[in-house]
Structure 1
Amino acid sequence: MLTYEDRIGFIGTGVMGASMAKRIMNAGYHVSIYTRTKQKATSLINAGADWEDSIANLTKNCKVIITMVGYPSDVEEVYFSDQGILKNVAQGTYLVDMTTSKPKLAEQIESEAEEKGCYALDAPVSGGDIGAKNGKLTIMVGGKEKAYKDILPLLQTMGENIILQGEAGAGQHTKLANQITIASNMVGVCEAIAYAKKSGLNPELVLDSITAGAAGSWSLSNLAPRMIKEDDAPGFYVKHFIKDMKIALESAEELGLSTPGLALSLKLYEELEAKGEADSGTQALIKLFSSP
């Protein structure tokens, strides 16, 4: 079991990672951080986090290492490079990848971690910037039950709907199911807002009605209001959602599963990205439905 004397390492302090690390610090844990650009971690350093100038140094000093990076290629670099986690980790360390990544990569990390006498979990999250700030993320976990139980108190500082889904990779598969659901739903949300405006309705009043009924969803409640206000600030980047959808489509094809809704959503988001919206929030999809 972890204690507050155990040091927690956090790699990746972007839109969500910074808030997640801050939640851990506020719970009383000692946190060391590493990110490619130190300036992006200034707020955490000012709040008391210790800066490490390399992944190797952070790895050697921490009992638990959490990674929250952008792409599977980033996960591979962080874990498998010469200066990465698995080349420098001490026996008994817990490795928790919270990036949305490939299930097979999660299986590979766990396999190599076990050879080092370590524990690995894949634990991607859902809930966006709001969930990260408020500690209300959904956390989908894959890995061994013992490791899950050992670090559950730490996960509970960041989320409240935390479920062990199965062996290594199961957390990633669950997150991909989540993204498949959101993908088609986002198209529906955009079409609904565009329809409300075109028919002369007040879209805010429409939301008051339909979010409480059968159409209700997280995206409708949290992202549709941003669409109406033309607020494109990223709680979750378009470019990262495209990455997730591509992984999901690849995994579905490997399973022999047809996902036409996912394919359509990916096509639309790639069109949005081509218009220069890669760093906008996913709610920016409304622009494809609102243009003349």
Structure 2
Amino acid sequence: MKVGVVGLGLMGGPMAMHLHKAGLLAAVYNRTRSKAEPFEKLGVYVAQSPADLAGRVDVVIVMVSDAPDVEHVLFGPGGVVEGARPGLVVVDMSTNSPEWARRFAERLARHGVEFIDAPVTGGQKGAVEGTLTIMVGGREELFKRLLPVFQAFGRNIVYVGPVGYGQAMKLVNQVVVALNTVAMVEGLRLAKALGLDMEKVAQVLTGGAARSGSIELYLPKLLRGDLSPGFKAVHLKKDLGYVMELANKANLYLPATAMALELYKKMVEKGLGELGTHALGEVY
């Protein structure tokens, strides 16, 4: 399979590099061309547009910020559908919602293009180390065919159901991530107020029942004063917004998630959205 990657940011860049090492990467495209230069030096074709990329590969991976960005990459001027041929597969690995995933699948099907939603979790660290968890929604036979692609940068690859189920599972994941992060930030505030040794706090939180992905990934960074993103706060705010849209439609009461969304909204309003999700304490 020849694979192309659209979007070479914090996540897409490392994922594309793993695909190159696996001998699968045929082309890349990024709106800011400078991010594609490391791949050009490796002999990877740098496409002029998503359409140009789509015409050269069997599988297009899209890793951009939000649903409107995915829509533009697929259907905008110079978009994937302009270069697509029947049998092409589009894999959306960004995070949006089940409704968007089903909409993309329906529109691409008119062009003879198949679609899979396969968002990831594990942050930039997981992308760099090739240990991401990938939640895949789509036709199961197609999932099995694409497994070598996912295995290039993922360790925990889970087929969760038809189109849209990947995004649904990711939103569940984001609720737990957000609430774990709020718990970590508030626990650390309490620890500081009580005068505890923060290294010993870390020893307890990473070894007992409070242990979580947020603790393991981000507590060491917080102790160093490093607020740089492994996952940007603005993106978690976007994801929680999708969660609450779905919850409101289903008349589902999620008070803690609603609170977390308000906290991340405050982060973005204060101009802190480009920091990591673990920098939430900056708004307290």
Distance 2:178 2:261 in 1: 8
Q: Pick one of 59, 62, 68 that aligns with 1:73.
A: 68
Identify the residue that residue 255 of structure 1 maps to in structure 2: 250
Distance 1:244 1:110 in 2: 20
1:223 CA drift (Å): 0.7
Q: What do you get for the CA RMSD once the two structures are aligned?
A: 1.3
Identify the residue that residue 197 of structure 1 maps to in structure 2: 192
Identify the residue that residue 136 of structure 1 maps to in structure 2: 131
Identify the residue that residue 24 of structure 2 maps to in structure 1: 29
Alignment of 1:116-131 (within 5 A): 116-131=111-126
Distance 1:274 1:229 in 2: 25
TM-score normalised by length of structure 1:
0.94
1:106 CA drift (Å): 0.8
Distance 1:52 1:113 in 2: 21
Distance 1:149 1:118 in 2: 17
Structure 1 spans left out of the alignment, 5+ residues: 1-5
**Equivalenced residues, count:** 284
1:158 CA drift (Å): 1.1
| SS of residue in 1 equivalent to 2:10 | coil
Q: 1:48-76: CA deviations, max 9, x gaps?
A: 32100111111111110000001111011
Does residue 222 of the first structure (1) align with residue 226 of the second (2)? no
- Please tell me the residue identity of whatever aligns with 1:108: R
Identify the residue that residue 154 of structure 2 maps to in structure 1: 159
> Which deviates more, 120-129 or 239-248?
239-248
Identify the residue that residue 276 of structure 2 maps to in structure 1: 281
Distance 1:257 1:87 in 2: 40
Distance 2:132 2:30 in 1: 22
Identify the residue that residue 84 of structure 2 maps to in structure 1: 89
TM-score normalised by length of structure 2:
0.96
1:82 CA drift (Å): 4.2
Distance 1:47 1:279 in 2: 30
8 Å CA contact retained: 1:204, 1:225: no
Distance 1:167 1:221 in 2: 32
Distance 1:30 1:123 in 2: 18
- Please tell me the residue identity of whatever aligns with 1:93: L
Identify the residue that residue 212 of structure 1 maps to in structure 2: 207
Q: In the superposition, relative to structure 1, how do residues 245 and 103 fare at CA in structure 2: closer, same or farther (>3 Å)?
A: same
8 Å CA contact retained: 2:26, 2:56: no
Structure 2 spans left out of the alignment, 5+ residues: none
Does residue 232 of the first structure (1) align with residue 227 of the second (2)? yes
1:46 CA drift (Å): 2.2
Distance 2:40 2:189 in 1: 43
Alignment of 1:177-196 (within 5 A): 177-196=172-191
1:172 CA drift (Å): 0.1
Identify the residue that residue 145 of structure 2 maps to in structure 1: 150
- Please tell me the residue identity of whatever aligns with 1:260: P
Q: Pick one of 168, 177, 194 that aligns with 1:173.
A: 168
- Please tell me the residue identity of whatever aligns with 2:169: T
Identify the residue that residue 95 of structure 2 maps to in structure 1: 100
8 Å CA contact retained: 1:183, 1:261: no
